[in-house]
Amino acid sequence: MEASDPFPPSDPLGEALHFLRMNGAYYCRSELTAPWGLTLPSMPGYLWFHVVTSGRLWLETGTDERGWLQLGDLVLVPHGEGHVLRSEPGAPAPGILDLERESVSDRYEILRHGEGGAPTSLICGAVRFEHPAAGNLVEILPPTIHLEASSSPGLERMQSMLRLMASEAGELRPGGEAVITRLGDILVIQAIRAWIESDPAAQRGWLGALQDPQIGRAISSIHRDPARNWTVASLAHELAMSRSAFAARFTEVVGEPVMSYVARWRMQVAMAALKDEGATIGQLADRLGYRSEAAFSRAFKRVTGVSPGAVRRSAGERDRAPIAAAG
């Protein structure tokens, strides 16, 4: 069983953000001079982020979104879509994998590219979230999240982190790589939190359900103890609601029946454990409250469409960081 957090967040939405634990696939500090361009590859399952630490750049995404990023801006591409960064519209943009990069470590590189004109520097990262709850959150994020340095006084604390990241990137001292990667993780969470606080879309669907006083508590209970023999009646009892009222409210707010959510959550936990921990089918059957390996395997295939054995066998390929491996 997973060790319980002795200091869990006090609210369901805070708990969801607490689940955003990241595994960095790739970090790169880029020193660029105009004209320059970079094509970033598609990386399904990963989230790209870019921080402009000097100069400015032109961003083009697969959703045809285009616009300038200025000094201090932070942009997320949450769904791992390929996209293009340029010094100005129309500048040639070779694939980043085709350019020579200086390897600092297995996951941190320095790229110097361009034709000697106006300078721009940025820090890029591709990260993957480790906890299954993160998938529920990431899938409802917009194609891009752009936080402008001048957009709000509320971003002052984030700007302090951006300045620290730029300082560390400018002179990579001992431990600097660790500082930059940790700051990158924090900035991603801060950006998602800023989107939740400002975009009406965050008040609907799964995120909206987390913010519902009663349904949010039910979801937290399911997340914290997926092995428990949950029923509609037992969850309703915890909330002091009638069974019928709770069932109807859960389906209305979340968009699926409560027991369907319980089954899907268990299989998300199992999927993550198969891929990231190399857990056995027997271990997962016990961890998630199934009477036998066969019962667990049937439930897993019914919910996910694949067998747990197939997922476990393919985990090694998935875990290779696409860019780091290609570099």
Pairing label, strands 119-129, 66-69: unpaired
List 124's β-bridge partners, or say none. 28, 50
Mean pLDDT of 152-169: 68
Instruction: Provide the token pair at 5.
Output: 């957090």
Please state, as a whole number, how many other Cβ atoms lie within 10 Å of the Cβ of residue 147: 23
Q: Which CATH architecture has domain 212-318?
A: Orthogonal Bundle (1.10)
Query: What is the CATH T-level fold of the domain 12-201, as seen in this structure?
Result: Jelly Rolls (2.60.120)
Mean pLDDT of 195-208: 81
Instruction: Provide the token pair at 291.
Output: 């009477």
Pairing label, strands 47-54, 108-114: unpaired
The predicted structure's pLDDT at residue 251: 95
Which residues are CB-contacts of 266 (< 8 A; sequence separation ≥ 6)? 226, 288, 289, 299, 303
Domain ranges of the chain: 12-201, 212-318
Mean pLDDT of 279-286: 92
Half-sphere exposure of 228 (CA within 13 A, CB side): 15
Mean pLDDT of 131-159: 75
Residue located via tokens 């949950």: 230
CB 242 within 8 A of CB 236: yes
Checking if the pLDDT of 257 tops 90, the result is: yes
| 42 DSSP 8-state letter | P
Percent of the chain with pLDDT over 70: 86
State phi, psi for 195 to the nearest 5 degrees: -65, -45
Mean pLDDT of 282-295: 92
The predicted structure's pLDDT at residue 219: 92
> Using CA atoms, how far apart are residues 49 and 146, in angstroms rounded to an integer?
10
Closest CA to 136 of 213, 210, 80, 26: 210
pLDDT in tens, 211-245: 888 999 999 899 889 999 999 999 999 999 999 99
The amino acid occupying position 61 is T
Higher-confidence residue of 251 and 316: namely: 251
Checking if the pLDDT of 88 tops 80, the result is: yes
The predicted structure's pLDDT at residue 187: 81
Checking if the pLDDT of 8 tops 70, the result is: no
Least confident stretch, 102-116, 210-224, 274-288, 313-327: 313-327
Closest CA to 170 of 214, 209, 219, 119: 119
pLDDT in tens, 29-80: 899 999 999 999 999 888 999 989 899 999 999 877 789 999 888 899 999 9
Question: How high is the mean pLDDT of the chain?
Answer: 84
Mean pLDDT of 169-175: 69
The predicted structure's pLDDT at residue 53: 86
The predicted structure's pLDDT at residue 170: 64
Checking if the pLDDT of 2 tops 70, the result is: no
Q: Do domains 12-201 and 212-318 have the same CATH topology?
A: no
Mean pLDDT of 246-270: 94
pLDDT in tens, 93-142: 999 989 999 987 777 888 999 999 999 999 888 888 777 667 778 888 89
Closest CA to 320 of 35, 22, 43, 15: 43
Where are the alpha helices (H) located in 88-214, listed in sequence order? Answer: 132-138, 156-170, 176-198, 205-210
Higher-confidence residue of 279 and 150: namely: 279
CB 81 within 8 A of CB 61: yes
State phi, psi for 247 to the nearest 5 degrees: -60, -45
The predicted structure's pLDDT at residue 60: 96
